[in-house]
């Protein structure tokens, strides 16, 4: 730690999700070239890089939305295969896309249970999709999720999402990801479209999720936000790792240099 820099894995907390040697090609374009990445529980790992560095591709590979051409996944040291969003969900990996994917015409409780609506017991003679919804359980679940993440500005889980602020929507999308027995949450630019106060809400929310033991991957262009919340920062460039830093022992300038020029010229004592 004397150098203030470390490669992935060394003297870091034991990883929960770890991928090694991830490669992904789109036609002739090599989007990811043997990338290593990891995140531990109770940690916020920032993922940064210039446009086209491969952040979003890596995120989608982790979420199962893209299938990696090469590479290994392990969760708590055990190898797993993740080739679809369904696989990722089964292993507790949830993603919050930048567009949030909320239904504005439905209320908060409905959005939080979307696709996994609880139904009342009994009614076995009906196929599941025609059994009565247990909307009271849905509201309870939503209230619990909102309370757990302490989204205080939200007055009612029966409010339509269309009437909420950007920060509240982001909070609901995050609460949805955090609710489904998930251990890893991938956040894609969660504060990109938000004002100052709302950004604050979301950053606080992200920190609270760290405190509840989630492993959080945080993509952002905003270094100020990253330095506030992240424990470690992983820099990608041209689809490959540059390095991973401990946030406390690096500076924004160093990260910017790494993002734009890599380590060859900027930092002489590269790991």
Partner 1 sequence: MQPENRMSMLDRFRMMRENRFGSFLPVLFALIAIWAYFGVTEPAFLSPRNFYNLFMQSAVVGTLAVGITIVLLLGDIDLAAAATAGASAALMAVLLVAGWPGPLACLAAMTFGATLGIAQGVMTAYVGIPSFVVTLAGLLGFQGLMLKILGVNGAINMRDPFVRGITTVTLSPTVSWILAIGSIAAFATLVLRRQALRRVRALELETQAALWGQILFFGGMIVAAVATLNLYKGVPLLVVLLILMTGALGWVTTSTPFGRSLFAVGGNPESARRVGMNVRHIRVAAFGIVGLIAAIGGIVGASRYASVSFNAFAGGPLLLEAIGAAVIGGTSLFGGRGSVWNAILGALVIGSLGNGLDLSGAAAADKLMFSGAILLLAVAIDAVSRAGGGSR
CA torsion, points 94, 98, 104, 109, in degrees to nearest 10?
A: 30
Among 14, 21, 162, 213, binds partner 1 (CB under 8 A): 162
Answer yes or no whether residue 155 interacts with partner 1 by CB under 8 A.
yes
| Minimal distance, residue 181 CB to partner 1, in Å | 15
What does the alpha-carbon distance between residue 184 and residue 191 come to, in Å, rounded to a whole number? 19
Q: How far is CA 142 from CA 1, 59, 114, 135, 153, in A?
A: 43, 27, 11, 10, 14
Structure tokens at 8: 């992935």
Is 50 a binding residue for partner 1 by CB under 8 A? The answer is no
* Residue 29 binds to partner 1 (criterion: CB under 8 A): no
Please identify, using beta-carbon distances, which residue of 1 and 103 lies nearer to partner 1.
103
Rule CB under 8 A: which of 81-110 touch partner 1? 85-86, 97, 99, 101-106, 110
Which CB sits closer to partner 1, 12 or 154?
154
| Closest separation in Å from C-beta 163 to partner 1 | 6
Q: Which region among 8-16, 129-137, 146-154, 184-192 touches partner 1 (by CB under 8 A)?
A: 129-137
Minimum distance of partner 1 from residue 132's CB (angstroms): 5
Residue 63 CB, nearest approach to partner 1 (Å): 10
Give the Å distances, CA to CA, from 258 to 35, 36, 175, 209: 16, 16, 33, 28
Minimum gap (Å) between residue 57 Cβ and partner 1: 18
Q: Which is nearer to partner 1, 15 or 64 (CB)?
A: 64
Q: How far is the CB of 226 from partner 1 (least distance, A)?
A: 26
Neighbours of 216 (CB within 10 A): 26
In the list 38, 139, 189, 231, the residue contacting partner 1 (rule: CB under 8 A) is: 139
Number of residues lying near partner 1 (CB under 8 A): 36
By CB atoms closer than 10 A (0-12, 13-18, 19+), residue 72 is middle
Beta carbons of 243 and 5 less than 8 angstroms apart: yes
Name the segment binding partner 1 (CB under 8 A); options: 25-33, 43-51, 138-146, 199-207.
138-146
CB-based contacts of 89: which residues, under 8 Å, 6+ apart?
Answer: 64, 180, 182
Q: Does 132 bind partner 1 (CB under 8 A)?
A: yes
User: Interface with partner 1 includes 125 (CB under 8 A)?
Assistant: no
Q: Is 135 in the site for partner 1 (CB under 8 A)?
A: yes
Binding interface with partner 1 (CB under 8 A): 85-86, 97, 99, 101-106, 110, 114-117, 119, 128-133, 135-136, 139-140, 143, 155-158, 160, 162-163, 165-166
């Amino acid at each position: 730690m004397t150098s203030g820099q470390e490669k992935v894995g060394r003297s870091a907390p034991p990883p929960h999700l770890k991928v090694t040697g991830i490669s992904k090609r789109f036609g002739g374009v090599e989007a990811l070239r043997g990338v290593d990445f990891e995140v531990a529980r109770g940690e916020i790992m920032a993922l940064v890089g210039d446009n086209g560095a491969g952040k979003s591709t890596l995120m989608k590979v982790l979420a199962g939305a893209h299938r990696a051409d090469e590479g290994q996944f392990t969760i708590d040291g055990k190898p797993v295969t993740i080739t679809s969003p369904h696989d990722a969900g089964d292993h507790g990996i949830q993603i919050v896309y930048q567009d949030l994917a909320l239904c504005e015409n439905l209320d908060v409780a409905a959005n939080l249970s979307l696709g996994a609506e609880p139904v009342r017991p009994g009614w076995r003679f009906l196929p599941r999709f025609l059994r009565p919804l247990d909307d009271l359980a849905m509201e309870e679940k939503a209230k619990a999720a909102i309370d757990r993440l302490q989204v205080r500005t939200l007055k009612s889980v029966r409010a339509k999402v269309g009437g909420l602020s950007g920060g509240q929507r982001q909070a609901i999308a995050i609460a949805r990801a955090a609710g489904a027995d998930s251990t890893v949450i991938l956040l894609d630019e969660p504060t990109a479209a938000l004002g100052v106060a709302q950004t604050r809400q979301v950053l606080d929310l992200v920190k609270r999720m760290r405190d509840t033991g989630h492993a959080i991957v945080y993509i952002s262009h905003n270094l100020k936000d990253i330095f506030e919340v992240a424990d470690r920062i992983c820099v990608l460039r041209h689809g490959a790792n540059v390095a991973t830093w401990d946030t406390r022992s690096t500076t924004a300038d160093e990260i910017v240099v790494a993002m734009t020029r890599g380590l060859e010229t900027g930092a002489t004592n590269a790991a």
